[in-house]
Structure 1
């Protein structure tokens, strides 16, 4: 209706009323629309810049973590003959300088037994009790009508969880039972039946001092190595308590042959990593500085004053002085190895200082980059993977090692740990969730220390900033709220502008009608005057 009325505007007055209404409407609307457009543009720029900053800190942290995870910044043990043994650094360990000569005299192996062949795995073996004696204790294996078969006997033995694994091996000539214990001399086991048993079950007994029964295919024995001339025995071919931070994997016994073992330092890789880190840091710093620049007359960076970005800048500026290594007397911060903060907030590397530290304390410099986990006791070994536990110091108390079939027990920071054989696991609710330790001796307490390294410290900054309740989330919520408000303000402007336009149309329509009425009156009067004038003539 408004449109049809508008088309008739100007007919009475002769004025271009439509153009006048548009001009008046635009004059009122334009400055308000310009302000909204400015707000929209700035809001979009802020959202884009926040996303770019978020992606940049992600890329920075991920790149550093990937570099560290690749192992190129870790010192690694080296051996002269990997066919005899291999050596690897334990997760979280920081290796000191060492060199040694190792002779592998004997490999550890497990005791294995094999039975006579039966026609099939389902053939009865005889009913009664077998007594299985292992390093974990004595266990009774019962065979009755429900499990009287070779398969049933194997399952009954495995169900004891006695440290012996039973397997049925089927071949063309029948089925046999094979038993295998753990490696090491102490893991030898016997399987006995009551004297006088003649049910057939005696065929599966074993005692090295008694004839008959199962045949021993392999004897249980310890690994024997000579470390720099000192003989050492271990129950496993994986040995991690001879050289601090190093796990040896014995592969072949070669009596009379010594293998050299030493350490390779990644000095060049660390020097390159320090310079690459500083370059990446400065690139990120430059971006954030541009985003937060004050500017003149409102022409500053899109994120000037944003609390999330300010917190990111504050946390990043603390990195050179953040304690990354709490162990020993070596450097604990990047600043100590030559990473300096300049007046403009960028970083630079004192090459001479870095070279000096790499020469005098390569282990300490390496420790700044790589995460580490340490136990104060040699009898408490950390077996959880690096990065699974939040950095910090944790106290273990009331420790009791596993013995006689009883699991290890203990507490961490006053909370009972979850027991699993020789291992203890930090419970849900503990700050150390993810920590797993193994007790290998008599110890009542210990302290566990988890150092983050530079990669972990940067990840912690990133994770805290991007947490669901963190500064970045608050900034994003604020900007999204502003975007919604701008959209609402634009809709309100549309409504007000349309209402004002309609008001003008109504007013000018009324005016046109009035003008038309005046013109009609004028025309009538003019006609009357002409008539009067004619009559007078």
Structure 2
């Protein structure tokens, strides 16, 4: 009995102890415990995601820094690619009132020049008769204005076929002095019209551009019943306007050679030098000196070396070990950043493609790569080095840096290249000559001089497919020679509004008693044709019909068929020479063309592959941003799994709490059961 009672007591004590420990519930902060267990489960994976995201965001930031540093390097390299950098000139000129320098271009030839201004240019001006008001009618019809040169007596006018005149129409919409003024100005042919007051009356004043061959000829065609335009005639037959001032060319002696120009703005007497004339003097001579200025090129090269060394220092912190942070940069393992740095080092140390003589690499110029990868300029090294290169071989220095195209023959000229053009030498063979559309008329049936009085010398002509309106030689005009007749026809054709609108032009010459009409364009669309003729035009050998159509140039580049349009030859698409453009002159048969991007072009081309909008850095940034998006999605997924895990824990804890509450109830019941059982009740 004792034994049984003792055993029961021990069990009850143990149960009571458990129940006592649990109390009325578990006594545990299940919310806190669930948070701790969830955080412990999430911590390792969340840490990996955070580390990865931080690295990716740092890489995005560092690629921005790389882009900025690379852009500065590109700017410094691009400055080396400008021919003007290496062709810079300095100018020395004394004080003078005769002229003033306005531009010194890099292509100006170095040398000393003695300038003597003997005559300044002036413009011809013509004035009309008087009109009572600005709205006075002037008549209706057309005024044909042409430009050329009058003789001293104003009896003979020679048209300048290189200048385009105009035909002005006066009708009900502009039949007034102001309407005529505005119509002439709108034609924009180098003749300005203005109205000047004269004692209560008004006159039209016409002013040509300066120059002896910019003088004006005007021929009126009046509408019946609205006469008046004839008062503006100024031609060999009738001169109803008054010449106030004749046109003159400027005259300058350059080192003793007399040259003339139409304007006082001189742009082509000394190549690359422009100046304005103010006064003439038969006694004063202006001495100017143009000298090469190598200092700009030298400083630009030095600036590039400095820019590269700065670039290297900045980028090494991103791709190498940052001594300040005592850690590797975020791009340390990035293959794109490594390829960029290797590519730039290769350009710095390699020969420039397309160059075979002179300086072909930076080392020839005395620019060396140090052990730490930086660039250093070796000023002198025996008879070589940077100083000797600048002083003694400046042309080679320029060719090293500046893109260069050349041709072994003068009638094949390389005019353009593109980003797709690869440096090198290319053999060009011309298989078809370029030609212009041409029409050779029949023999002129008359002998010179030819008088147009009473003759129907009208025609329509098509130039490169553009048809003119009806053109007529002026009535009552005498042509002393075939050359004079050809010049007149060329002026009238190129003056036609429809021909001008199509941007077509023609050259007319006279040879072997025949007029020859030649389109100024090359190619298969180049053609000359007479589509309508007057009754007497056959006297001049002109008949209906077309001449010979032009041809496009044909040829090969390195054995591959090229595309020809007019006299322009383009290498085949996809070939190494793609993007090169050549102008081929008649007579060319073959030649070798050479193309080099120069150091500058090679460097900027490489850098641009990384920097451009669709470049390699942009692609890498896009890829990193996608990785960041993926990490953020992984973080969201981890949060969802963690929330689910916590929910499961809370459900389990709630189940436990339910069990504990049940156990507490059982414990309360067991606390008094021994006292109520037989043989175990306590005695009073």
Q: TM-score range by the shorter chain?
A: 0.7 to 0.9
TM-score by length of 1: 0.75
The answer on whether the counterparts of 2:268 and 2:274 sit within 8 Å (CA) in structure 1 is yes
Q: 1:494: Cα distance to partner?
A: 1.2
How many Å separate the matches in 2 of 1:250 and 1:377? 36
Structure 2: how far apart are the matches of 1:308 and 1:87? Answer: 49
Q: CA offsets per residue over residues 31-62 of structure 1, 9 Å max, x none?
A: 11111121122112111101111122223444
The equivalent residue for 1:521 is 666
Residue correspondences, number: 501
The equivalent position to 1:43 in structure 2, one of 22, 37, 56, is 56
Following TM superposition, by how much is the alpha carbon of 1:284 offset from its aligned partner in structure 2, in angstroms? 0.7
Describe the shift of the 1:454–1:329 C-alpha distance in structure 2 as closer, same or farther (beyond 3 A). closer
Deviation track 1:108-136 (CA, whole Å, cap 9, x = no partner) reads: 34333232342333211233443423234
Q: 373, 383, 392: which one pairs with 1:345?
A: 373
Please state how far the C-alpha of 1:301 moved relative to its aligned partner. 1.9
2:118 to 89, 105, 108: 105
- 1:178-197 matches, cutoff 5 A: 178-193=205-220
Q: Output the CA distance in 1 between the equivalents of 2:350 and 2:111.
A: 29
Alignment of 1:258-337 (within 5 A): 258-293=285-320, 300-320=328-348, 331=359, 334-337=362-365
CA distance, structure 1, for counterparts of residue 135 and residue 420 of structure 2 = 55
1:106 is displaced (CA, Å) by 2.5
Partner of 1:427: none
1:154-233 superposed matches below 5 A: 154-158=181-185, 163-171=189-197, 173-193=200-220, 199-207=227-235, 212-233=239-260
Q: Is the 8 A contact 2:177 2:204 kept in 1?
A: yes
Between structures 1 and 2, the one with greater strand share: 2
Counterpart residue number, 1:358: 390
Q: Deviations over 1:39-90 (max 9, x none)?
A: 1221121111011111222234446768999x88752252424642426344
Relative to the length of structure 2, the TM-score reads 0.61
The equivalent residue for 2:615 is: 470
Query: In 2 relative to 1, CA 265–368 (structure 1 residues): closer, same or farther, beyond 3 Å?
Result: farther
Separation in structure 1 between the aligned mates of residue 608 and residue 614 of structure 2, nearest angstrom: 11
Structure 2 CA distance, aligned partners of 1:534 and 1:89?
127
C-alpha contact 1:117 1:175 (8 A) present in aligned 2? yes
**Pair 463,496 (structure 1): closer, same or farther in 2 beyond 3 Å:** same
Contact 1:107 1:222 (C-alpha < 8 Å) held by counterparts = yes
- 1:53 corresponds to which residue? 66
CA distance change for structure 1 residues 128 and 511 in 2, over 3 Å: closer, same or farther? closer
Worse-superposed segment, 179-188 or 368-377: 368-377
1:28 matched to which residue of 2?
A: 41
User: Which stretch shifts more, 480-489 or 230-239?
Assistant: 230-239
Equivalent of 2:103, from 76, 81, 88?
Answer: 88
Going from structure 1 to structure 2, the CA distance change for 1:56 and 1:329 (only over 3 Å counts) comes to: same
CA contact (8 A) 1:288 1:309 kept: no
Look up the match of 2:484.
none
The alpha-carbon distance between structure 1 residues 206 and 498, as it changes in their structure 2 partners (threshold 3 A), is same
For the Cα contact (< 8 Å) 2:86–2:297, is it kept in 1? Answer: yes
Q: Distance in 2 between matches of 1:269 and 1:526?
A: 106
Q: Is this contact kept in 1: 2:127–2:205, CA < 8 A?
A: yes
Between the aligned partners of 1:35 and 1:389, the Cα distance in structure 2 is 48
Moved more, 485-494 or 327-336: 327-336
Say whether the 8 Å CA contact 2:108–2:270 is kept in structure 1. Answer: no
Gaps of 5+ in 1: 1-8, 419-429
| Secondary structure of the corresponding residue to residue 672 of structure 2 | helix
Pair 451,502 (structure 1): closer, same or farther in 2 beyond 3 Å = same
Give the direction of change, closer, same or farther, for the CA distance of 1:256–1:470 in structure 2 (3 Å limit): same
Q: In structure 2, what is the equivalent of residue 3 of structure 1?
A: none
CA gap 1:175/1:285 in 2 versus in 1, 3 angstroms: farther
Whole-Å separation in 1 of the counterparts to 2:587 and 2:216: 30
Matched position secondary structure for 1:508: helix
Deviations along 1:286-320, whole A, 9 cap, x unmatched? 2222212279xx96321134354345324433554
Deviation string, structure 1 residues 442-464 (Cα, Å, up to 9, x no partner): 99999999987776665544443
Which residue of 2 is the match for residue 115 of structure 1?
128
In 1: Cα distance, 2:346 partner to 2:316 partner: 16
What is the root-mean-square deviation in Å for CA atoms of aligned residues? 4.9
Residue number in structure 2 paired with 1:424 = none
Q: 2:356 & 2:137 partners in 1: Cα distance?
A: 64
Following superposition, the deviation at residue 269 of structure 1 comes to 3.8
Contact 1:292–1:305 (Cα < 8 Å) also in 2 = yes
CA contact (8 A) 1:124 1:149 kept: yes
Separation in 2, partners of 1:183, 1:388: 39
Q: State whether residues 108 and 184 of structure 1, in contact with CA within 8 Å, keep that contact through their aligned partners in structure 2.
A: yes
Query: What is the deviation of 1:510?
Result: 1.3
Q: 1:263-296: per-residue Cα shift (whole Å, max 9, x none)?
A: 243333433332222121111112222212279x
CA contact (8 A) 1:115 1:214 kept: yes
d(CA) in 2 for partners of 1:328, 1:87: 39
SS in 1 for 2:145: strand
Residue of structure 2 in register with 1:5 after alignment: none
Cα separation, partners in 2 of 1:343 and 1:451, compared to 1, 3 Å? same
Q: Distance in 2 between matches of 1:238 and 1:321?
A: 48
How far is the alpha carbon of 1:100 from its aligned partner? 2.5
- 1: CA distance, partners of 2:281 / 2:594: 39
Corresponding residue of 1:143: 170
Question: For the structure 1 residues 450 and 116, does the alpha-carbon distance in structure 2 shift closer, same or farther, using more than 3 Å as the test?
Answer: farther
Deviation at 1:246, TM superposition (A): 3.8
* Residue in 1 that maps onto 2:675: 530
Partners of 2:340 and 2:275 in 1: how far apart?
A: 43
